[in-house]
A = this chain, B = another copy of it.
Amino acid sequence: MTVIFSKKCEYGLQAVLYLAAQSEREVIPAEEISNKLSIPKEFVSKILQSLTESGIVISRKGKSGGFALAKDPKRIQLIDIVAAIDGLSMFSSCVLGFPHCNPENPCPLHDKWGELRSKAYAMLTDENIDHFRNKTLRKISSL
In residues 81-131 of chain A, which contact B (Cβ within 8 Å)? 82, 86-87, 89-90, 95-100, 105-109, 112-113, 115-116, 119-120, 123
**Smallest beta-carbon distance A86→chain B, Å:** 4
B132 and A108 contacting across the interface, CB-CB below 8 Å: yes
Return the contact of A3 from the options B2, B106, B132 (Cβ within 8 A). Answer: B2
The reply on A142 being an interface residue by CB < 8 A is yes
- Interface of A toward B, CB cutoff 8 Å: 1-7, 9-11, 13-14, 17, 38, 78, 82, 86-87, 89-90, 95-100, 105-109, 112-113, 115-116, 119-120, 123, 132, 135-136, 138-139, 142-143
Number of chain copies forming the complex: 2
